[in-house]
A and B are shown apart, each in its own frame.
Chain A
Amino acid sequence: MAFKHKHLLGIQTLTSSEIITVLDTAESFYEISTREVKKVPTLRGKTIINLFFEPSTRTRSSFELAAKRLSADIVNFNQQASSSVKGESLKDTILNLEAMNPDAIVIRHSCSGVPYFTTTFCKSHIINAGDGSHEHPTQALLDAFTIRQEKKNFKDLKVTIVGDILHSRVARSNIFLLRKLGARVILVGPPPLLPLEFKNFGVDIDFNLDRALEGADVIMMLRIQLERQQKNYFPSIREYRNLYSLTEKRFQRAKKKAIIMHPGPINRGVEISADMADSAKSVILKQVENGIAVRMAVLYLLLGGKEREAFD
């Protein structure tokens, strides 16, 4: 099954077989990072720009290593050091970078839709590395890759996603992906951070964590995104912790072989207790490791083959 998209803007536009293609391809790339010489010549001569308007450690360095292990040249561009602080508009910044003839631009921005907007005037392949509270497709793909390593099959898997659903692009991308692959998704969080409209995505909603953990195969904890909260969505961190923190005791309600995931960065003692984050059930660092293989697969699939028209 070929992958025909020019850009990766979100999971919503992918079919389940395209998702499987990415995961299968990532499977093959995984081994490269275990070699002594962690490099293949595949993307030699290609230039990729990492354009991050929001802070990031994992995603940015993961894309950077993925590109380097494929022999592409990658330039990092971060907001603090850029001309956007001198008042340059977003479009001008991107047009200037585009003038340097990159083959792909990896974009993160705090506004939803920026990667899509970029495709309307840019020739390069655009990869969404997280836009506002819209999507974070490579995160969902690496999460799926990690789940598949542990659980083999998505059909009828019970996945509980906990936390600030309202602001989470990770949650949205994961909901789209998991539903396409046939998993059951239950969202949990404080009511102000969990709008009932999410039911339209084919998921269940619960406000009680203990109940939602019952029989879960996968538990995905999200960070409370204080930087996105202008209002007070819950009374205090302490209350949030009492109601929605994943503790050893709560974890007992999930299946024996359940795994704990977190897109990072984690706030120990807030959404997850320190001993749960470090427990054998946690695959949090595995997710980070898998991120490189998945991003290598994405770069390979988008940049491979002849130039193609966008049909996203």
Chain B
Amino acid sequence: MAEKIKAKIMDSHKIKRAIQRMTTEIIERNRNLKNLVVVGIRTRGIYLGKRISKLIKELEKRDIPVGVLDITLYRDDFSESEAQHMVKKTEINFSVAKKDVLLVDDVLFTGRTIRAAMDSLIDLGRPKTIQLLVLIDRGHRELPIRADYVGKFLPTSKREVVQVQLKEIDKIDEVLITEPPGMK
């Protein structure tokens, strides 16, 4: 049973424009780009992070390292979910201590992923600042967390699912609102 697609929110053009705008904002806010590092949250945050790093390189001729963060071990629902979540690797080959860390994820929803990501980052070292970038902010926060850079604010209902698809793994750039099967 496939889920029902309710609307297409962004296409590849709109995603590209949003990333360009956010990158400009990052450059504007971080005058010391030398101190900036990008950490993408598995899975799609990695690819967004890489795109942003590449754009900064084009615009400012600066190499911004990109790390990969897996937050599974920091989840707060360890004993509640039906099966264990598969743990994947965290691959951050640079120190985050004293750095301005740009945390990147595709969708900001309850805020629990970001809480886990921040705890995990701080265990790796003490960053100077942590900033948050998301492609979609869909509301319904359960924790006091907000993003510094947002591609698009998208009001949703709780049972809807926001699907970000990226070329690097989904063969297409788009953002969809879907509804899981069996829901009315």
- Nearest CB of chain A from residue B126's CB, rounded to whole Å: 11
Are B91's CB and A31's CB within 8 A? yes
Are B123's CB and A39's CB within 8 A? yes
| Given contact pairs A36-B125, A37-B124, A42 touches B88 in the complex (Cβ within 8 A) | no
| B140 at the binding interface (Cβ < 8 Å) | no
- Nearest CB of chain A from residue B160's CB, rounded to whole Å: 26
Are A40's CB and B74's CB within 8 A? yes
Are A305's CB and B87's CB within 8 A? no
| Given contact pairs A37-B124, A40-B73, A306 touches B79 in the complex (Cβ within 8 A) | yes
> Could you tell me which residues of chain A, from 274 to 312, have a CB within 8 Å of some CB in chain B?
297, 300-301, 304-306
* Smallest CB gap from B95: residue in A: A36
| Given contact pairs A27-B89, A35-B124, A306 touches B81 in the complex (Cβ within 8 A) | yes
Q: Which residues of A contact B124 (CB under 8 A)?
A: 35-37
Are B89's CB and A2's CB within 8 A? no
| A52 at the binding interface (Cβ < 8 Å) | no
> Could you tell me which residues of chain B, from 77 to 100, have a CB within 8 Å of some CB in chain A?
78-91
Are A31's CB and B87's CB within 8 A? no
| B119 at the binding interface (Cβ < 8 Å) | yes
In the bound complex, CA of A76 to CA of B33 (Å): 50
- Nearest CB of chain B from residue A44's CB, rounded to whole Å: 8
Are B83's CB and A4's CB within 8 A? yes
Q: Which residues of B contact A39 (CB under 8 A)?
A: 123
Of listed A21, A27, A31, A304, residue having the most chain B CB within 10 A:
A304
Number of interface residues of B (CB under 8 A): 22
* Smallest CB gap from A30: residue in B: B89
| A25 at the binding interface (Cβ < 8 Å) | yes
Interface residue range, chain A: 20 to 34
| A79 at the binding interface (Cβ < 8 Å) | no
In the bound complex, CA of A70 to CA of B78 (Å): 12
> Could you tell me which residues of chain A, from 24 to 62, have a CB within 8 Å of some CB in chain B?
24-25, 27-29, 31-32, 35-37, 39-43
| Given contact pairs A36-B125, A304-B78, A306-B82, A29 touches B87 in the complex (Cβ within 8 A) | yes
| B173 at the binding interface (Cβ < 8 Å) | no
Are A31's CB and B82's CB within 8 A? no
Q: Which residues of B contact A300 (CB under 8 A)?
A: 73, 84, 87
Q: Which residues of A contact B125 (CB under 8 A)?
A: 36
In the bound complex, CA of A41 to CA of B119 (Å): 9
* Smallest CB gap from B122: residue in A: A37
Are B90's CB and A42's CB within 8 A? no
| A207 at the binding interface (Cβ < 8 Å) | no
Q: Which residues of A contact B87 (CB under 8 A)?
A: 25, 28-29, 297, 300
> Could you tell me which residues of chain B, from 41 to 90, have a CB within 8 Å of some CB in chain A?
70, 73-74, 78-90
A interface residues (Cβ-Cβ under 8 A, vs B)? 2-4, 21, 24-25, 27-29, 31-32, 35-37, 39-43, 70, 297, 300-301, 304-306
B interface residues (Cβ-Cβ under 8 A, vs A)? 70, 73-74, 78-91, 119-120, 123-125
13 additional contacts, CB 8 Å, given A36-B124, A305-B79? A3-B84, A28-B70, A29-B87, A31-B91, A37-B123, A39-B123, A40-B74, A41-B119, A42-B73, A301-B84, A304-B84, A305-B83, A306-B81
Some 14 contacts from A to B, beta carbons below 8 A apart, are A2-B84, A3-B84, A25-B86, A31-B89, A31-B90, A32-B73, A35-B123, A42-B73, A304-B78, A305-B79, A305-B81, A305-B82, A305-B84, A306-B82
